[in-house]
Amino acid sequence: MVAFGGAPFKTVDQCTSVGREGHTVVADMDGTLLRGRSSFPYFALVAFEVGGVLRLLLLLLAAPLAAVLYYFVSESAGIKVLIFAAMAGARGEDVELAARAVLPKFYSADVHPEAWRVFSACGRRCVLTANPRIMVEAFLKEYLGADLVIGTELGTYKGRLTGLAVHPGVLVGRNKAAALRKQLPEASPEIGLGDRETDFPFMSLCQEAYVVPPKPRCGAVASEKLPKPVVFHDGRLVMKPTPLVAFVTVLWFPAGFLLACLRIAAGALLPMRYVYHVFRALGVRVTVRGTFPPPASRSLGRSGVLFVCSHRTLLDPIFLSVALGRPIAAVTYSVSRLSEILSPIRTVRLSRDRARDAAMIRKLLREGDLAICPEGTTCREPFLLRFSALFAELTDQIVPVATCSRMSMFHGTTARGWKGMDPFYFFMNPSPAYEVTFLDKLPLELTCTGGKSSHEVANYIQRAIASTLSYECTRFTRKDKYRALAGNDGTVPEKKPKAEGAKAMDR
């Protein structure tokens, strides 16, 4: 038993989860469904995504005031400061997209096992939280299977958030109980879960109430035990921005940007045979495994080799070239003009017209070696998206390449932001790393020339690369990713073909 709000409550580990299919559970979020009691990291994620490093700095400056108000005035006052600093003036659409594409990755890594055991056992699930509903609803409904999310509502003006809570205000204490009674006027929920004294009013409306003790000594729920795994996610920050991590990120940002400019300049201006060594001197780690074929030579009658790469960032073909010590042409799809200007290798855009693209790739292979990323877009998690099979129809000189990138502070990809900043964010990491593994050249009997269909070849290469990286093969496509993260299918409007030799890198 725990003395909580003047009344004794059992702890959540004493709540049975058997036979709860017909029951309703009402749970708080921070400190209850999630192990962490602080919502600052999630406000920091939203602040950085909608307003960049300056908005994150503003939130950091406001955090001490929020803490003082939280402990010496009221929980509601402290939360109001965080909400205003993180979201005032931001477009509601941007916050909703960040909540859908960025936050689930971090929320799902902190789900409390005992609270989840009870919550998942019940037939109807309700979450009652002081967090803004716009910030948490997508995760709670899509990843935890919540039927009803009751959170703080924010005011808007011409599509932008005012940063102010509307009636009845921030949902803490009696406001929580009133909001629950409004949504469930006749019912008396069977189970109430909370973690602090201000949860007592709504818990007293439930037939059974259990408290989740603070500072849990338990690991988070494994991702495979949640209703929906996080395959796609967006956002620039790699680590959950606790106050310390957020502070270090803000301090590092200007120095990191200057370092990124130096690294990009070195890769773009120096001969490719020197870039490997210069990158290592500048803190960029490149690991090369396997053996690779010699460059194509017209005089020897050899056609170009098609390097089929997994797609982790837009820099995959560049690091392939660094590993080989020579520039390799690449075919691309969706890139920014800035990436075209900065790229040190020759690339040619795909048109998404099958006949035109096939003719273009054959022409490039006659001229030399070529790199292609048949996934069509990047994926951060240990999954490989479906491989487009077109490449397999065009040559039997195929070398699979397993690429893997590691970043400690910033992600070098985005689905919602400006893609021109992708190489900068990758190189802004203190010590980014790329691993390039060359697999054996595909034997003739496993190519289309040897009687295999193009889909069989593509699927075989996907499985071979996945096995090398210990990744999982999926049937997800570029469209699936962009629908999940950006609310569109990732289609890029057709433009007039660029002049030959345009420089770009594919996403």
Domains of the chain and CATH, by start: 17-218 (3.40.50.1000), 243-485 (3.40.1130)
Backbone angles phi, psi at 485, to 5 degrees: -105, -30
- How confident is residue 499, by pLDDT bands cut at 50, 70 and 90? very low
Q: In 10 A of CB 28, how many CB atoms?
A: 28
Q: Looking at residue 291, what is its pLDDT?
A: 87
User: Would residue 336 be called left, alpha or beta, if left means φ above 0 and alpha means ψ between -120 and 50 degrees?
Assistant: beta
Segment 484-496 mean pLDDT: 66
Q: How high is the mean pLDDT of the chain?
A: 90
Residue closest to 195 by CA, chosen among 112, 73, 139: 112
- N- to C-terminal Cα distance for the chain? 55
Task: Extract long-range pairs of 442-448: CB within 8 Å, 24+ residues apart.
Answer: 442/396, 442/398, 442/399, 442/400, 444/396, 447/392, 447/396, 447/398, 448/392, 448/393, 448/396
Given this model, what pLDDT does residue 496 score? 47
What does the pLDDT average to over 108-120? 95
Tell me what the mean pLDDT of segment 246-261 comes to.
Answer: 97
Q: What is the mean pLDDT of residues 335-344?
A: 79
Closest CA to 349 of 496, 228, 209: 496
Instruction: Indicate the range of 215-219, 233-237, 454-458 predicted with least confidence.
Output: 215-219
Output the pLDDT for position 42: 97
Q: Residue 486 pLDDT > 70, yes or no?
A: yes
Q: What is the pLDDT of residue 187?
A: 78
The two structure tokens encoding residue 145: 């299977």
| pLDDT tens per residue, range 11-35 | 999 999 999 999 999 999 999 999 9
Does 6 score more than 80 pLDDT? no
| CA–CA distance, 123 with 23 (Å, rounded to integer) | 6
pLDDT of residue 468 exceeding 70: yes
Q: Kindly state the percentage of the chain with pLDDT values over 70.
A: 93
**Alpha helix (H) residue ranges in 227-353:** 243-269, 272-281, 316-324, 337-342
Please state the three-class secondary structure of 150-166 as a single string: EEECEEEECCEEEEEEC
Closest CA to 274 of 375, 344, 180: 344
The C-alpha atoms of residue 425 and residue 411 are separated, in whole angstroms, by 6
Give dist(CA 306, CA 319) in Å, integer.
15
The pLDDT, as a whole number, for residue 3 is 52
Tell me what pLDDT residue 217 has: 80
The pLDDT, as a whole number, for residue 339 is: 79
Amino acid 349: pLDDT: 83
pLDDT of residue 2: 55
Determine the residue type at 277: H
- Measured CA to CA, the distance from residue 494 to residue 353 in angstroms comes to 10
| Averaged pLDDT, 96-100 | 94
CA distance 471 to 456: 19
Distance CA 233, CA 107 (A): 12
What's residue 300's pLDDT? Answer: 54
What 3-state class would DSSP assign to 68? helix
Tell me: the pLDDT tens digits for 195-208?
999 999 999 999 99
Question: Residues 286-335: pLDDT tens digits?
Answer: 999 998 877 766 555 567 899 999 999 999 999 999 999 999 999 987 77
Contacts of 50 (CB under 8 A, 6+ apart): 86, 87, 90, 91, 94, 95, 98
pLDDT at 507: 39
Contact criterion met (CB below 8 Å) for 433 and 283: no
Whether 350 has a pLDDT exceeding 70, the answer reads: yes
* Pairing relationship of beta strands 433-438 and 398-406 according to DSSP bridges: antiparallel
Specify the length of the chain in residues: 507
Residue-wise pLDDT tens digits, 142-176? 999 999 999 999 999 999 999 999 999 999 999 99
The pLDDT of residue 118: 96
- Per-residue model confidence (pLDDT) at position 498: 43
pLDDT in tens, 373-403: 999 899 999 999 999 999 999 999 999 999 9
Q: In this predicted structure, what is the pLDDT of residue 500?
A: 40
Q: What is the mean pLDDT of residues 441-446?
A: 93
Enumerate residues 6+ apart whose C-beta is below 8 A from 493: none
Q: Mean pLDDT throughout 410-436?
A: 94
3-class SS at 278? helix
CA-wise closest residue to 25 among 251, 276, 194, 166: 194
311 contacts 373 by C-beta, under 8 angstroms: yes
**Which tens digit of pLDDT belongs to each residue from 39-86?**
999 999 999 999 999 999 999 999 999 999 999 999 999 999 999 999
Residue 212 has pLDDT above 70, yes or no: yes
Which secondary structure element, helix H or strand E, spans residue 367, and what is its range? helix 354-367
Q: Are 135 and 46 in contact (CB under 8 A)?
A: yes
